[in-house]
Amino acid sequence: NPNNEKCFNTSCAELPEEIRSKLKYKPGAAATKLKQLKKADVLVVDPPRKGLEAEVLEALTGSDCPDLKTLLYVSCGFPALQRNLAALQASGWKLTHAAGYLLFPGADHLETFCVLNR
């Protein structure tokens, strides 16, 4: 979405500087950003309906990102979310919150927001 970065920056402007200075907007295919996961402690993923790319799921379920403690997962594809959550939970992630949202009136699906911690 061409408006994502503007929305991110607008939202960040409302936060205290000590938090704002820690946030970065890194657009691109998740699989191309795997090296950056090694430094992250919080990650937001919003995969397409098919779910997380295999390389990303492997990194999140393996030992590639030891400092990553919180995963915020936004999903528009519930079957893929179920598969991804099963793999994540089997590797030690704990689902601590889940909620469904109808973000697009008239749409035939919910967006699901999940918080996972380890």
Active site residues: 76
Q: Which residues contact 16 (CB under 8 A, 6 or more apart)?
A: none
- Rounded CA-CA distance 82/87 in Å is 9
Instruction: Report the distance separating Cα 9 and Cα 69, nearest Å.
Output: 24
CA distance 78 to 82: 6
